[in-house]
Amino acid sequence: MEQVRPRTTLAAEGADRTHAWIVVGLLFLFMLINFADRAVLGLAAVPIMQELGLSHTEFGLIATSFFTLFSVGGVIGGFAVNRVASKWVLAALALIWSLCQLPMLLSVSVAALIVNRVALGFSEGPAYPVALHAAYKWFPNERRAVPTSLIAIGALAGNGIAAPLIVTIVAAWSWHAAFGFLGAIGLAWCVAWLLVAREGPVTPDRVSSRESAAHLSYRRLFKCRTVVGVQVVGFCAYWLLTLAVVWLPAFLTQAYGYTPAQAGWIMMLVSLGQIVLLPGISILSDGLKRRGASSRLACGSVACASTLAAGLIVILLAQSEGSLGVIVCTVIAFSLCNVMFVLGPVLVAEVTPVERRGAVLGVTNAITTLAGPLAPVVTGMMVDVGAHPADGVRTALLIAGALVILGALVGFVLIDPEADRVGNPHNPQAETNPA
């Protein structure tokens, strides 16, 4: 006979569910502001170069300075959130972004702009893994993919939705005003977060969790086949994602003959494809797990299959000539490559004790994003050595597609959360969800 729970317990469960999605909404805005802060430099590139007398090379070096401490910040933030409540770590990160942006309201030197980007990169490095760590305290393993996808979409919104507003502010006032506006928005988010946020109720049994964390050292966790597999596939997928951000508009104009305006519309289609695709695949993954499918199938295989398909379609894109084929291949390939960044953290969290989770997510994110500073340089060299820019573009796409396919195949072999849990008897999934 089914046990009837008291009404007060049911009411508390309902309140927790509501609060969980409020937290996800705030984390969506957190990532939106994060990526808008990154994008503002590029969106204001022309007036900044004119005011400071910068060449394109000098401006490029300033933009690259963002990655100087990005991975370092990701690792430090990941370890910090294992000891400090995620509420305070996230508030501190957003406060640093805001304090970085507000001085840009004044006349600044090149050195000040570089310091701004380095500090911004350091504080934004931990943003995504720490946000996920906070969200996972509100959702059990079989319900994490959908909130992860919504938080990831916040980054896409920062690149797409916020861009027209930033461009309008730059045109109407100045690039200084755009930086100041984002700083003010960051401070407003901090206030809202501190008023609303609290640590989630999905917590481990403290005794068993401390024992599992003690036996599962970081060395052992970073040798875990699932963690390594996510890092390999994530690195290759981030290579493709970086090409989309840095080189794709140029590729579309140089190799396929689109005008800059047409390339911009295609990029918007890519963003829309990601916004539609990521929640859909996340719902599929969570649904499979709730129906009894293994995490290896529901998360690992789905993520690797999406990445494999992205690599194959990129190779097809390199051979494409017709306009419709180019657009379809571009939208599908550069949407699918993002699936690993939604399901990968879910897989890592599943095999990691909660006391170690923030650090493992942070280090994994730092490793995958190392493709960020590498991919643009390597791709640029490939384009330069080609007989014609169009030939170089197609060669770069072929190599990127092959790299992504190889990474996906490695992921199919390595990613197996169930085997990792069996092999590590001190890593029980002790998390329970009172809701």
C-alpha to C-alpha distance for 152 and 278, rounded to whole angstroms: 8
Q: Smallest Cα–Cα separation from 23: which of 131, 184, 103?
A: 131
C-alpha to C-alpha distance for 365 and 224, rounded to whole angstroms: 16
Q: Measure the N-to-C terminal CA separation of the chain; round to a whole number of Å.
A: 21
pTM of the predicted protein model: 0.78
Intrachain domains 14-198 and 215-426 with the same fold: yes
| pLDDT the model gives residue 275 | 85
Q: How far is CA 369 from the centre of its chain?
A: 9
| CATH class of this structure's domain 215-426 | mainly alpha
Burial of 374 (0-12, 13-18, 19+ CB in 10 A): middle
Q: What is the mean pLDDT of each run of 10 residues along the chain (435 residues)?
A: 40 67 92 82 78 75 79 85 88 90 85 86 87 88 86 75 76 88 93 89 49 63 91 93 72 76 75 86 90 91 96 90 83 91 91 86 88 76 70 84 96 92 52 40
| pLDDT the model gives residue 415 | 94
Query: What are the backbone angles phi and psi of residue 432, rounded to the nearest 5°?
Result: -130, 150
14-198 has CATH 3.30.43.10 classification: no
Looking at this protein, which amino acid is placed at residue 189? W
Distances (CA, A) of 322 to 7, 315, 335: 62, 15, 20
Burial of 130 (0-12, 13-18, 19+ CB in 10 A): buried
| pLDDT the model gives residue 306 | 96
- Per the listing, tokens 């996972």 go with 136
| pLDDT the model gives residue 14 | 57
Q: Where do the structural domains in the chain lie, given as residue ranges? A: 14-198, 215-426
| pLDDT the model gives residue 51 | 86
E strands, 297-426, in order: none
| pLDDT the model gives residue 160 | 63
Beta bridge partners of 190: none
Burial of 18 (0-12, 13-18, 19+ CB in 10 A): exposed
* Upper half-sphere CA count for residue 408 (Cβ side, 13 Å): 26
